[in-house]
């Protein structure tokens, strides 16, 4: 189907949501956006034209690079000493970039409250990926030298921060299933199986 569509994936830390999103985008032949969105925003004294020249070379000339440069209006995003203003402005800037990108192409977007930002857009599939803490710990311990106890603490802190961020900007509960079209429990599902479920749902929605 030629119609544009967007897949947003919110995920618990260690649940495999990012891996699923990247693999899904590759399988569907569409772009995958995660850290690229915030890489376009200055993390120190504010955004300026120079920042665009410092973006990863692989982003130059892509849709996201052109969109980000186009929506920038010279505003200062604040700095480390102005966390409140910086977070608000970064969210607004990221929202504008997301809205423009989805007018131009199909893509997978990880996190960033994308499900809320794009809630009024047509053909947006909103997904939440979660797993038990034991499963998340195992997923992370396979790639980390941290102790299981430290991993558990890190998972709890990371997910608490994500929930707080989501509630602040959306007024909603990050884990509330009603925010999403599809919730995936990856405790007993492989990456491939998770992708198959998402594609089956999309087929049922006549998106692809």
Domains of the chain: 6-201 (3.40.50.300)
Q: Residue 52: is its pLDDT beyond 50? A: no
Band of the pLDDT at 208, cuts 50, 70, 90? Answer: low
Give the model confidence (pLDDT) of 60-69 as tens digits. Answer: 455 544 554 5
Q: What is the pLDDT of residue 60?
A: 46
pLDDT tens-place string over residues 103-114: 888 999 999 899
User: What is the number of other CB atoms lying within 10 angstroms of the CB of residue 92?
Assistant: 14
The sheet with strand 182-185 has its strands ordered as 31-33, 107-110, 6-11, 124-130, 182-185
Residue 77 — very low, low, confident or very high, per pLDDT cuts 50/70/90?
Answer: very low
Separation CA 20–CA 24 (nearest Å): 6
Q: Residue 194, SS3?
A: helix
CA distance 94 to 117: 9
**What average pLDDT score do residues 67-73 get?**
51
Encoded tokens for 41: 């925003």
Q: What are phi and psi of 198, to 5 degrees?
A: -65, -45
Query: Which residues in 52-190 belong to E strands, given as ranges?
Result: 107-110, 124-130, 182-185
SS3 of 44, please?
Answer: coil
For residue 161, pLDDT beyond 70: yes
Lowest-pLDDT choice from 24-28, 44-48, 136-140, 185-189: 44-48
Give the list of residues 6+ apart from residue 191 with CB closer than 8 angstroms, or none. 16, 19, 20, 23
Q: What is the mean pLDDT of residues 121-130?
A: 92
Read off the pLDDT band of 73 (50, 70, 90). Answer: low
Give the C-alpha separation, 204 to 74, whole Å. Answer: 43
Residue 81: its pLDDT value, please?
46
Q: Considering only residues 45 and 139, tell me which one the structure prediction assigns the higher pLDDT.
A: 139
Q: For 100, which DSSP code?
A: H
Cα dist from 38 to 41, 85, 142, whole Å = 5, 16, 27
At 151, list the tokens. Answer: 């991993």
Q: Report the alpha-carbon distance of residue 86 to residue 175 in Å, rounded.
A: 25
């Amino acid at each position: 189907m030629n119609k544009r569509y967007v897949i947003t994936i919110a995920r618990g830390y260690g649940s495999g949501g990012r891996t699923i999103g990247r693999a899904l985008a590759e399988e569907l032949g569409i772009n995958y956006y995660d850290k690229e969105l915030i890489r376009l925003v200055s993390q120190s004294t504010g955004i300026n034209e120079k920042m665009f020249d410092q973006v990863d070379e692989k982003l130059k000339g892509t849709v996201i690079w052109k969109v980000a440069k186009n929506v920038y209006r010279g505003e200062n995003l604040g700095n480390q000493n102005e966390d409140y203003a910086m977070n608000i402005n970064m969210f607004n800037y990221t929202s504008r970039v997301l809205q423009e990108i989805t007018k131009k192409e199909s893509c997978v977007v990880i996190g960033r409250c994308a499900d809320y930002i794009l809630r009024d857009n047509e053909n947006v599939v909103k997904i939440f990926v979660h797993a038990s803490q034991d499963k998340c710990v195992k997923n992370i311990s396979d790639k980390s030298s941290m102790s299981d106890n430290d991993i558990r603490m890190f998972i709890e802190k990371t997910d608490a921060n994500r929930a707080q961020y989501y509630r602040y900007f959306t007024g909603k509960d990050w884990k509330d299933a009603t925010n999403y079209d599809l919730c995936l429990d990856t405790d007993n599902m492989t990456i491939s199986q998770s992708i198959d479920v998402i594609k089956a749902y999309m087929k049922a929605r006549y998106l692809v």
